[in-house]
A and B are shown apart, each in its own frame.
Chain A
Amino acid sequence: MSKQPERIFIKGNEAIARGALAARCKCFFGYPITPQNDIPEFMSSAMIKAGGDFVQAESEVAAANMLLGAGAAGIRAMTSSSSPGMSLKQEAISYMAGSEVPAVVVNMNRGGPGLGDIGPAQGDYYQSTRGGGHGDYRHFTFGPGTVQEAYDLTIRAFDIAFEHRTPVLILGDAILGQMKEPITPWEPEGVDDEAGRDWAISGRTGGRDKRLIKSLFLAEGELAGQNKHLQAKYDSWTDLAECEQFETQDAELVICAYGSIGRIAKSAVRKFRKEGKKVGLFRPITLYPFPSADLKKLAEEGKRFLTIEHNLGQMVDDVRLAVRTICDSEFFPIYPGNLPTPDELEAPILACLEGK
């Protein structure tokens, strides 16, 4: 990490764009949708200045397929969108998973289903962690909770994408995208701009053997082999799972929440702690791979769990899967259309704490 001690005051959207730039992203393909527009707006000039390219695509379908092309060519590239646009990107994401094309995709989650609203929500958790398109696949998913983390994880996302030849999703929401915070930008060292030299399509210069990037496997046993290979890759990610634990050590009740809600829950936990109440926070940073082992450890210590999400209950499935042999998790939903405050989380946490 080269030193760049300056502090800048920026929105989460801009942090992601700047993080991508620091990670030497060279191509960006976008399509307007609230609340992520700052990203393509920033990238429209930043990519050109960086010696790369920017395309405002005709649709999210096209943007994601452009990303597939740039990734197959071994170039660091990114697209961003919000929920309705993410549905359209799933086709290309499935193909990228199937043909092992590295790329970074950003979703600033808004309310749904359908057109929903343009406010924050976490309704895309399932789509983001189960392989949102067709077929048997997963992809790496980060759930940043602060603007600094959005910057940091974007840089990580590019490394993971190329190291594991996979699409990587950064799942934020309208709060993270639109919120301004001071951050310390930094630049990673030793980024390999030619990380695809051994597999990317680049032309058979020098007469080397041709390369083929595809997801069609028709010969007998071929697709099963490919799916096994993909699954082994996903299994190898277990050790890369990350979480933040706050005041969990002596906690009786652990709140499980990710992203912006994780951050709001942290404020509530602080307040409870001041009152001497033994509440802690477990905030997954990687949503896939889910940090199940860490959560299970807490369950083994006898803690109880309350999952809070800005949806009607999605991540709670992963929490329950992690602790299923020991205990269960309560769940409290926050409906889309409102911006929850720490105060609003107090009543459900208290009720849980007191066993009601």
Chain B
Amino acid sequence: MTEMNEKLVFDKPESVIDRATHYCPGCHHGIAHRLVGELLDEMQLTEKSLLIGSIGCSVFLYNYLNVDAVEAPHGRAPAVGTGVKRARPDNFVFTYQGDGDLASIGMAEIMHAANRGEKISVVFVNNTVYGMTGGQMAPTTLIGQKTTTSPAGRCVAHEGAPIRMAEIIASLGGVAYAARGSLDCVKNIRAAKKHIKKAFECQVNATGFGFVELLSGCPTNWKMTPVQANERIQKEMIPYFPLGVFKDISEEGGIC
């Protein structure tokens, strides 16, 4: 009998703690966590990192990343991040926020942190619903999308149009980098990682505020299978939330 030779070709990043996930099958939070973890490893930021947790399904990110962390109230992560970064300017400070957290209750905090050009990085997971509380309408919910609080489908006349955060953030003075990626397929995941890396570099090089929006699936609240959720991102989300870089002054030496 010949001995089988096993070779590990896909390991966990060191920054990611090896534990069972609490996320639903097909949830993209885990992918986003992994991308962040890979970059912390590659950029050797793990020991310097201070994570600002936010409120949403990803509140437990601090259980998965092996970095120091503080938990912010719902929507306030950019303000908490501001305080942390001003207190410890030599550390690497980043927030990780959902769309209800960032684009609704935390709209003031994200806009002003971005506009001040805080030297922090923001990973923004847009899954078009409030995942943790059971799939209510978010500011990013697509037109016509049915949620538990928009049972007839989101209507522009009644609920307004979905907010495109990456474009809004790109328009603010202190922003060095603003981009939108997607986690629906391998090609997009690889591109998303490049966006996050750029945003992180803007902090490392003190260029300015870095922002990456990630279109993500919430199969549970979308009432879809993981495969259907990926298809929905392609067919419905990307046409409304175009992928790409909306601002990049990382090569220009930054903002005073």
* Chain A contacts to B: CB under 8 angstroms: 26-27, 29, 52-53, 55, 57-59, 61-63, 65-75, 77, 91-92, 95, 99, 201-207, 210-216
Contacts and interface: CB of A to CB of B under 8 A. Distances in A.
Interface of A is mostly: mixed
A309 to B, nearest CB: 32
Nearest to A57: B79
B248 interface: no
Contacts of A69: 52, 70, 72, 79-87
Which 5 pairs across A and B sit closest by C-beta, in order of nearness? A69-B83, A66-B83, A65-B79, A75-B87, A214-B71
Interface string B42-85: 00001111101100000100100011111111001001111111
Contacts of A203: 47-50, 67-68, 88, 91-92
B68 to A, nearest CB: 4
8 contacts: A62-B82, A62-B112, A65-B73, A65-B109, A70-B86, A203-B92, A204-B66, A216-B59
Given A62-B112, A203-B91, A205-B48, A29 B70 contact: no
B70 A62 contact: no
A241 to B, nearest CB: 30
B247 interface: no
A111 to B, nearest CB: 26
A35 B187 CA distance: 57
Given A92-B76, A212-B62, A214-B53, A70 B71 contact: no
Given A95-B73, A214-B70, 19 more contacts: A55-B82, A55-B86, A61-B79, A62-B79, A65-B72, A67-B83, A69-B87, A70-B84, A70-B87, A71-B83, A73-B87, A75-B88, A202-B50, A203-B47, A203-B50, A203-B67, A210-B68, A210-B69, A212-B70
B254 to A, nearest CB: 18
Contact of B88 (A58, A202, A207, A215): A202
Interface centre among B47, B82, B111, B116, by most chain A C-beta atoms within 10 angstroms, is B82
Interface centre among B52, B62, B83, by most chain A C-beta atoms within 10 angstroms, is B83
Contacts of A75: 87-88
Nearest to B111: A58
Interface of B: 46-50, 52-53, 59, 62, 66-73, 76, 79-89, 91-92, 108-109, 111-112, 116
A216 B71 contact: yes
Given A65-B109, A92-B76, A210 B67 contact: yes
Given A55-B116, A58-B109, A70-B87, A99 B82 contact: no
A32 to B, nearest CB: 15
A63 B112 CA distance: 12
Contacts of B69: 201, 210-214
B59 to A, nearest CB: 7
Contacts of B67: 203-204, 210
A206 B112 CA distance: 34
Nearest to B89: A53
Given A58-B108, A210-B68, A210-B69, A29 B46 contact: no
B66 A210 contact: yes
B112 A58 contact: yes
A204 B68 contact: yes
Given A61-B108, A203-B68, A66 B79 contact: yes
B83 A68 contact: yes
Contact of B68 (A55, A59, A67, A201): A201
Given A73-B50, A213-B69, A216-B59, A27 B84 contact: no
